[in-house]
């Protein structure tokens, strides 16, 4: 099971919790501040109105007892011959000389009858400014919100570490699970959902490993049987070719049989290799210099290149990659073989290897279709052959997350592999 492919920009569970919890801070502060503003304003008005009413009742009581108007300092003004049927509260702004700004006040207008004449008395009291109320509400809610968030983060950290332990244990085991190994045993939990997850994973992994084992056995058995019969066909064909008997037409038919058996044997080996790559059976990854397998392969094809009079130019430098050494040889071999096999007489091959890239450019024949399709399994090239070699290259690149590009321009073929 390949567990190395991870979605871009992943985020841990606890960080996601922190993220979405933090996103609630702003609306909570805004809504809470508005709510607190109106609550504080309402309470402030209630307190001031209650105080002014209390002062009014004291004045009225004093007037009834002594038939006189006391000189209270909170009495703002006295208006003669004006009568209010009932007390009236009013808001007003008064210039504050010291600060040179308008300050809000709450006033209470009420009337009394003194010696047969109506008098309207005005009491007033300083109000909290709207900006003061807003500032106070914001500070209160912000402080509470930050306090709640702090304790939420603290509790989430502790709860996550305790409750989610079975989940992280399961995650740890499946990320390190290899399909060729036994199915891991998952820990039991007192949480039903985690037990259901572990049970489902256990069934799934068992089915996957059984399918993998059956498929592997079938491929190996089929490969063995095919290679055995192909070897018999090739041996008999060789015997017929070396026999002095038989006419030219019969010998040509035998040559075709021998050639077809040889090609079929190579195709079968390539398909088996593809199956092993798909099943992730190559896990002996090491840090290696790709320059070495590339030079070895170039030495193997040196004679063929000379016979076809192909001009070879190559520029290489150390290129460290982390992969299976055997697959590195296969990758280099298939790329060079493709450049030689599909070249033209007296053509050219240019190879450039840098620290993070391999580029192979060669002459060839024009191709009308999409060159990227030649990387697919069983795609047809210009000579009608099935493209298994490049399909293996593509599978190896996919296995190690190498990026591969195939371009054809004016009968010039270029394959580029980015190792980084």
pLDDT, tens only, 99-119: 777 888 888 888 888 777 888
**pLDDT of 2 above 70:** no
For 34-65, the pLDDT digits (tens) are 887 788 888 888 888 899 899 888 888 888 88
Select, from the ranges 133-142, 185-194, 222-231, 301-310, the one with the highest average predicted confidence (pLDDT): 301-310
CA distances from 61 to 17, 58, 99, 109, 216 (A): 64, 5, 36, 16, 105
Query: What pTM, to 2 d.p., does this model score?
Result: 0.53
Asked if 402 contacts 375 with a C-beta cutoff of 8 angstroms, the reply is: no
For 221-242, the pLDDT digits (tens) are 777 777 787 788 878 777 777 7
**pLDDT of 9 above 50:** no
pLDDT of residue 414: 94
Asked if 401 contacts 356 with a C-beta cutoff of 8 angstroms, the reply is: no
**pLDDT of 384 above 50:** no
pLDDT of residue 378: 53
Adjacent-strand bridge partners of 418: 357, 403
């Amino acid at each position: 099971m390949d567990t190395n492919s991870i979605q871009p920009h992943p985020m841990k569970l606890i960080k996601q919790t922190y993220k979405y919890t933090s996103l609630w801070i702003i609306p909570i502060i805004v809504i809470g501040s508005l709510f607190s503003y109106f609550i504080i304003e309402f309470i402030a008005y209630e307190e001031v109105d209650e105080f002014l009413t209390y002062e009014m009742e004291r004045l009225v009581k004093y007037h009834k007892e002594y038939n006189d108007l006391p000189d209270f300092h909170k009495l703002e003004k006295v208006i003669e011959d004006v009568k209010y049927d009932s007390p009236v509260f009013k808001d007003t702004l008064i210039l504050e000389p010291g600060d040179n700004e308008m300050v809000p006040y709450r006033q209470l207008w009420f009337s009394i009858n003194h010696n047969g004449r109506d008098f309207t008395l005005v009491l007033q009291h300083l109000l909290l400014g709207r900006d003061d109320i807003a500032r106070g509400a914001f500070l209160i809610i912000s402080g509470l919100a930050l306090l709640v968030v702090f304790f939420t983060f603290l509790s989430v950290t502790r709860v996550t570490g305790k409750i989610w332990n079975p989940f992280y244990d399961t995650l740890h085991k499946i990320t390190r699970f290899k399909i060729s190994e036994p199915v891991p045993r998952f820990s039991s939990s007192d949480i039903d959902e985690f037990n259901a997850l572990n049970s489902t994973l256990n069934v799934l992994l068992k089915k996957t490993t059984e399918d993998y084992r059956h498929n592997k056995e079938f491929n190996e058995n089929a490969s063995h049987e095919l290679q055995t019969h192909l070897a018999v066909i090739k041996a008999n064909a060789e015997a017929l070719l070396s026999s002095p008997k038989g006419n030219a037409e019969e010998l040509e038919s035998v040559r075709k049989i021998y050639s077809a058996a040889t090609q079929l044997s190579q195709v079968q080996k390539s398909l088996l290799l593809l199956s092993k790559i798909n099943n992730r059976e190559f896990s002996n990854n090491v840090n290696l210099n790709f320059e070495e397998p590339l030079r070895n392969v170039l030495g193997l094809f040196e004679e063929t290149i000379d016979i076809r009079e192909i001009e070879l130019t190559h520029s290489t430098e150390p290129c460290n990659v982390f992969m299976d050494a055997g697959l590195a040889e296969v990758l280099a071999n298939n790329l060079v073989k493709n450049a030689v096999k599909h070249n033209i007489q007296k053509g050219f091959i240019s190879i450039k290897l840098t620290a993070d890239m391999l580029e192979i450019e060669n002459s060839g024949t024009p191709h009308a279709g999409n060159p990227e399709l030649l990387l697919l399994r069983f795609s047809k090239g210009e000579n009608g052959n099935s493209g298994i070699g490049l399909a293996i290259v593509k599978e190896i690149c996919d296995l190690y997350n190498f990026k591969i590009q195939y371009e054809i321009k004016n009968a010039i073929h270029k394959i580029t592999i980015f190792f980084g």
